[in-house]
């Protein structure tokens, strides 16, 4: 079982944003997609999550063709994702923002929880306990009652990862999750991504930080102007000096 991206092309008017991309993400795998800004990485994520239409090709989730399946239904199929720019109500607290990720899987749902119906009280306590555990794993527990407006961008990215984890995904798409994170925050993130993978979650990772990719990814796909130009193990990709110089510069080289 896997997410299968099969010869996908996406066009916006006369612009081809993604061209002929094929990729498979199996349960428990961590696959990275890299490339310069504008290379089609986020558009590829949008293809998988149902936010853009395909010109050609197909996306299948566990052998199910998704052409007629919208974003919300894909979440119910076990897909979760983050975005380059975190999307939150800034007045929400950290705990509230993460707790929302659990509600697609609860019987009571978010409305009854907000209204505090008695039937939802036990389930709500379980959500709060699970939320606290995720926040603790990512080093965010001390911030649980802080409004999102008061957080740094790095902290907001971790909150978005926490909310995606709360969805109990079978597949997780992480769009530049380490941008703006401190080294300690990056290591906490890496530990959780590894744990998710060990528990069978397939992870598709877009990330400019190749040090993090070295730690996590089994395979890397390189995009340039929407086209796949290189794929392989991180160590093999690094041996391509044109790739290192063009996409990573000297900071991407191992010393």
Domain containing 194 — which CATH number?
3.40.50.300
Residues 6+ apart with CB under 8 A from 118: none
Task: Report CA 109 to chain centroid distance, whole Å.
Answer: 23
pLDDT given at position 65: 96
- Domains in the chain: how many in total? 1
According to the model, what pLDDT value does residue 205 have? 96
pLDDT at 246: 63
Contacts for 5 with CB less than 8 Å, ≥ 6 apart: 21, 22, 23, 24, 44, 47, 48, 57, 59
Q: Which secondary structure element, helix H or strand E, spans residue 38, and what is its range? A: none
169-208 per-position pLDDT tens digit? 999 999 999 988 999 899 989 999 999 999 999 999 999 8
Residue 92 has phi, psi (to 5 degrees) of -70, 155
Q: How far apart are CA 98 and CA 30, in angstroms?
A: 23
Task: Quickly count: other Cβ atoms within 10 Å of residue 192's Cβ.
Answer: 18
- Residue-number span of the structural domain to which 44 is assigned: 2-252
Which residue ranges in the chain fall short of pLDDT 50? Answer: 111, 115, 117-118, 251-252, 255
SS3 197: helix
Q: What angle do CA 69, 75, 81 make, to 5 degrees?
A: 115
pLDDT tens, position by position, 118-142 = 455 777 788 888 999 999 989 999 9
Contact 24, 204 (CB under 8 A): no
């Amino acid at each position: 079982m896997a997410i299968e991206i099969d010869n996908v092309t996406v066009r916006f008017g006369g612009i081809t944003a993604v061209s002929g991309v094929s990729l498979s993400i199996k349960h428990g795998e961590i696959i990275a997609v890299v490339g310069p800004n504008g290379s089609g990485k986020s558009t590829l994520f949008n293809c998988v999550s149902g936010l853009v239409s395909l010109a050609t090709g197909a996306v299948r989730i566990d052998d199910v063709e998704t052409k007629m399946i919208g974003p919300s239904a894909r979440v119910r199929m076990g897909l979760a994702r983050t975005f380059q720019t975190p999307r939150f109500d800034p007045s929400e607290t950290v705990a509230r923002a993460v707790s929302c990720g659990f509600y697609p899987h609860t019987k009571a749902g978010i409305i009854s929880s907000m209204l505090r119906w008695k039937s939802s009280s036990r389930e709500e306590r379980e959500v709060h306990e699970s939320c606290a555990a995720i926040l603790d794993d990512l080093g965010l527990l001390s911030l649980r009652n802080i409004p999102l407006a008061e957080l740094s961008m790095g902290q907001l990215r971790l909150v978005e990862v926490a909310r995606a984890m709360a969805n109990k995904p079978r597949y997780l798409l992480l769009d530049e999750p380490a941008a703006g994170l401190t080294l300690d925050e990056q290591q906490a993130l890496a530990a959780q991504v590894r744990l998710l993978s060990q528990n069978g979650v397939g992870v598709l990772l877009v990330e400019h930080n190749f040090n993090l990719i070295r730690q996590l990814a089994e395979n890397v796909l390189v995009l340039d102007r929407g086209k796949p130009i290189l794929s392989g193990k991180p160590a093999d990709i690094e041996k391509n000096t044109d790739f290192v110089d063009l996409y990573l510069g000297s900071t991407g080289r191992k010393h």
